[in-house]
Amino acid sequence: MSADPYNSSVRGLFADPTHAGSVSGGKTVLVDDQGVRVELSASAESGRISAMRFRAWGCPHLLAAAEWACAAYEGGPVAALEIVPIDRIMEDLAVPAEKTGRILVLEDAIQSLGRDLKSLREGCL
């Protein structure tokens, strides 16, 4: 029997992405690279991410990783977006090494969103 290319986490996140969509009135970034597209949007309040959503075009690992990231960052500090736990995402979702580039696209999107939210906050101050 061929090994299942997706672990249960990927299957669950892909099947039921509760953070799919966009946040109106927040900041939105789009990164289009490596043959995939990741759009992240979020709103922040008092330095914390109040809502974070994604839209993505790519393989199940990428979609699952985007959902994983939204769930992980939502409710946390905006500053956390500067650090993306790539190794943990790769491990939790058993992402094949040849797909690392796609996860790095997600990393770019997360960090870009963090910069935008930070500037928004600074602009407000």
Partner 1 sequence: MPDPMIYLDFAASTPVDERVLDRMREVAVMNCANPSSTHAAGREAQSMIAHAAEQLASLLNVAPKTLVWTSGATESDNLAIAGGARYRAHRGKHIVTMRTEHKAVTDVFEMLANEGFEVSWVEPDASGVLDPDEFAAALRDDTQFVSIMFVNNETGVIQDIEALGTICRARDILFHVDGAQAVGKLPIDLGALPVDLLSLTGHKFYGPKGIGALYIADRPGCHVEPILFGGGQQRRIRPGTLPTDLVAGLGMAAEVASASIETDLKHLRERRLELWDGIRDIGGVTLNGDPNGFPGILNVSVEDIDGESLLLALEPVCVATGSACNSKSQEPSYVLRAIGRSDMQAQSAIRFSVGRSTTAEEVRFAADRYRAAVARLRKLAPDAAA
Contacts with partner 1 by CB under 8 A lie at 6, 11, 14, 17, 20, 30, 36-39, 55-60, 63, 98
Q: Nearer to partner 1 by C-beta: 56 or 84? A: 56
CA distance 93 to 89: 6
Is the alpha carbon torsion for 19, 24, 28, 34 positive or negative? Answer: positive
CB 20 → partner 1: shortest distance, Å? 5
| Nearest residue (CB) to partner 1, 17 versus 114 | 17
Q: How far is the CB of 65 from partner 1 (least distance, A)?
A: 13
Q: Nearest approach, Cβ of 92 to partner 1 (angstroms)?
A: 18
How many CA atoms does the CB half-sphere of 113 hold within 13 Å?
38
- Is there a contact between 113 and 81 (Cβ–Cβ < 8 Å)? yes
